[in-house]
Amino acid sequence: MARIGVTGLGTMGAALALNMADRGFDVAVHNRTEAVVDEFMEGTGSLSDRFTPVKSLEALVDALTPPRAVLIMVKAGDPVDAVIDALVPLLDKGDLIIDAGNADFNDTRRRTARVTDEGIGFLGMGVSGGEEGARHGPSIMVGGTEDLYRPVQDIIEAIAARYQDDPCAAWLGPDGAGHFVKTVHNGIEYADMQFIAEVFGILNASGRSYADQADLFAEWNGGPLQSYLIEITAEILRARDSETGAPVLDVIVDKAGQKGTGRWTVIEALKLGQSATAIEAAVAARSWSAEADARAKAEETYPTGTTRMSHVLDGDLEKALLAARMIGYGQGFALLSAASRHFDWSLDLARIAEIWRAGCIIRSSLLDDISSAARDGLPHDQLILAPGIAPRLADAVEGLRRVVLASMEEGVPVPGLAAALSYFDTYRRARGTTNMIQAQRDFFGRHGFERRDRDGTGFHGPWAESD
Ligand SMILES: NC(=O)c1ccc[n+]([C@@H]2O[C@H](COP(=O)([O-])OP(=O)(O)OC[C@H]3O[C@@H](n4cnc5c(N)ncnc54)[C@H](OP(=O)(O)O)[C@@H]3O)[C@@H](O)[C@H]2O)c1
């Protein structure tokens, strides 16, 4: 009998199942298209004895030791509901379903309630690290009740990445907490990727060769920017297309895909009254990228000419990326705090930063500092105010400012970097300019305002006196 079942042997499900077998667990494997199970088994090599291949969900359930645990790793959305609907009648009370795909946490909350009503446990589990991570150690963010997590904790921790022996897996809170944290992780990932893409654009506009840029990113990866995304950027800049021999970046269409997690982050931020503008800029840039024909027409209408940037220092670009990264993480953590309060999740922000230190796409040396800062408590829930972060941000942000200014002068697009800088500049003013907004609202709608010199609400401006 197998300890756990996996249904959905696509990229991620197959990799996770192999990872479990590698760690010594017996796994029953199933896939909607039966032939995929055979293909999977052909690739299991010396691990084949660990697997029980099955061709139906009934057989999957029969192959498991009760109380059963079935991990679903299918396409996000309706397919997850379809698999749950098919599984629930086959399971017994006390069995457990784990959805390890990228679910909208609102769906996870709904599915948790639906499955729990039938006496079956449900965990919503975010998995980050792509195929490689899933195969050899992802970062794993679990939501559900803690008592449901304990029986599978050994499997989940065993397959997770390790940061200095600490497994990058944790139970984070009830129902949708794991998938919410995974969503915000992806939002931060969107922002970080966008910042890097913008710096790539600036370096191109400065006439720097890909080889030169690759060296620069590789050098940055040895400093405070050390991270998976900076590391792969250097590799990508060096890579050549195997068919044409051209730099691979030159053969790729500038149209970025998205599956929803970045957009969900922004939507949830807005619902919670939060600002995730750097993440929003990254989502917007991907959306605009899809409008290739309109962009071609716009370039014809407003020609850019040849852009030649010459006055941006490498050190400023490094600082710009660091400052923007801190602000991107800051917006993500502020959102996590807001969600934790709103849903009463008691999220451990330090633990979240810790389990992102290895295995996941946004792993970076900065996360070690972020986890220490969060452990000490974030002033006003703001990472950018943490004593361990603030002096470094104050230094780096001036590089960000110079880079944004120089780019804007030349018309080189930097929507993500500029959003990060604007957020910083807006946030660090004790007295902003929304007094004007309040005056306008009162002028046209008698909404009332608060006064600086008196307690209370509902004061009106002189324009109301003539009524
Ligand atoms: N790829 C990544 O880097 C990554 C990283 C983190 C999280 N994720 C998430 O992991 C999940 C799986 O992604 P993936 O990349 O492994 O996908 P994938 O390679 O496209 O595989 C999709 C799987 O879903 C199954 N499926 C699709 N529709 C189904 C349905 N109606 N009923 C039953 N099974 C169905 C497919 O079965 P058939 O073979 O029968 O079509 C296949 O096994 C998604 O939620 C994704 O967002 C992916």
Identify whether 433 is part of a domain: no
Asked if 163 and 139 count as a contact pair (C-beta separation under 8 A), the reply is no
pLDDT tens digits, residue range 322-376? 999 999 999 999 999 999 999 999 999 999 999 999 999 999 999 999 999 999 9
Last residue of a domain, one of 128, 159, 175: 175
C-alpha distance from residue 458 to each of 267, 438, 449, 450 (Å):
31, 11, 5, 6
Confidence label for 432 from pLDDT (cuts 50, 70 and 90):
very high
Residues 390 and 411 in one domain: yes
What was the pLDDT predicted at 227? 98
CB of residue 86 inside a 6 A radius of ligand 1: no
Last residue of a domain, one of 132, 149, 175: 175
> Residues 452, 458, 464, 467: what is their CA dihedral angle, to the nearest 10 degrees?
-160
pLDDT tens digits, residue range 278-327? 999 999 999 999 999 999 999 999 998 877 887 899 999 999 999 999 99
Identify whether 435 is part of a domain: no
Q: What strand order describes the sheet that includes 139-143?
A: 51-53, 27-30, 4-7, 69-72, 96-99, 121-128, 139-143, 169-173
Last residue of a domain, one of 175, 208, 240: 175
Q: What is the mean pLDDT of residues 451-464?
A: 96
Identify whether 289 is part of a domain: yes
> Which residue stretches of 206-303 are H helix?
210-220, 228-238, 248-251, 261-271, 277-289, 292-301
pLDDT tens digits, residue range 41-90? 999 999 999 999 999 999 999 999 999 999 999 999 999 999 999 999 99
CB of residue 32 inside a 6 A radius of ligand 1: yes
Torsion 364-241-214-319 (CA) sign? negative
Residues 307 and 393 in one domain: yes
CB of residue 292 inside a 6 A radius of ligand 1: no
Nearest protein CA to atom 3 of ligand 1, as residue? 130
Mean pLDDT, the chain, integer = 96
Residues 165 and 188 in one domain: no
Kindly report the pTM of this predicted structure.
0.95
Residues 103 and 216 in one domain: no
CB of residue 133 inside a 6 A radius of ligand 1: no
The distance between the two most distant Cα atoms of the chain, rounded to a whole number of Å, is 87
Nearest to 95 by CA among 154, 16, 148: 148
- The residues, ordered by sequence, that sit 6+ positions from 404 with a Cβ below 8 Å of its Cβ are 320, 414, 417, 418, 421
CB of residue 76 inside a 6 A radius of ligand 1: yes
Nearest to 278 by CA among 324, 339, 321: 324
Identify whether 434 is part of a domain: no
Residues 158 and 188 in one domain: no
Select from 9, 11, 111 the residue to mutate for testing ligand 1; criterion: most ligand atoms less than 8 Å from CB. 11
Residues 96 and 214 in one domain: no
Confidence label for 467 from pLDDT (cuts 50, 70 and 90):
low
Q: What is the mean pLDDT of residues 192-213?
A: 97
CATH of the domain at 390: 1.10.1040.10
Residues 355 and 403 in one domain: yes
Nearest protein CA to atom 41 of ligand 1, as residue? 33
Q: Is 271 designated active site?
A: no
- The residues, ordered by sequence, that sit 6+ positions from 425 with a Cβ below 8 Å of its Cβ are none
* Residue that is written with structure tokens 């990058």 in the block: 168
Structure tokens at 413: 């697009």
Asked if 152 and 4 count as a contact pair (C-beta separation under 8 A), the reply is yes
Please identify which of the residues 146, 182, 219, 318 carries the catalytic annotation: 182
Nearest to 188 by CA among 100, 276, 284: 276
Euclidean distance between CA atoms 315 and 456, whole angstroms:
50
The response to whether 76 counts as a known ligand-binding position is yes
Identify whether 41 is part of a domain: yes
Q: Is 255 designated active site?
A: no
Nearest to 17 by CA among 40, 34, 39: 40
Q: How remote is the CA of residue 54 from the centroid of ligand 1, in Å? A: 18
Nearest protein CA to atom 5 of ligand 1, as residue? 130
Q: What is the mean pLDDT of residues 378-383?
A: 96
Residues 155 and 214 in one domain: no
Residues 407 and 446 in one domain: no
In the beta sheet, which residues pair with residue 450?
none
Identify whether 248 is part of a domain: yes
The response to whether 119 counts as a known ligand-binding position is no
Identify whether 414 is part of a domain: yes
Identify whether 305 is part of a domain: yes
| Residue range of the domain that includes 240 | 183-427
CATH of the domain at 70: 3.40.50.720
Please give the tally of structural domains in the chain: 3
Please identify which of the residues 189, 198, 354, 410 carries the catalytic annotation: 189
What was the pLDDT predicted at 308? 82
Return the ligand 1 atom nearest residue 7 CA.
Answer: 43
Residues 147 and 236 in one domain: no
Residues 272 and 378 in one domain: yes
3-state SS class at 395: helix
Residues 286 and 343 in one domain: yes
Confidence label for 464 from pLDDT (cuts 50, 70 and 90):
confident
pLDDT tens digits, residue range 76-87? 999 999 999 999
Structure tokens at 383: 């990472």
Amino acid at 120: I
Select from 9, 12, 356 the residue to mutate for testing ligand 1; criterion: most ligand atoms less than 8 Å from CB. 12
pLDDT at 466 exceeding the cut of 70 = no
Euclidean distance between CA atoms 48 and 431, whole angstroms:
65
Nearest protein CA to atom 18 of ligand 1, as residue? 10
Backbone dihedral angles phi then psi of residue 137, each to the nearest 5 degrees: 145, 90
Backbone dihedral angles phi then psi of residue 171, each to the nearest 5 degrees: -80, 125
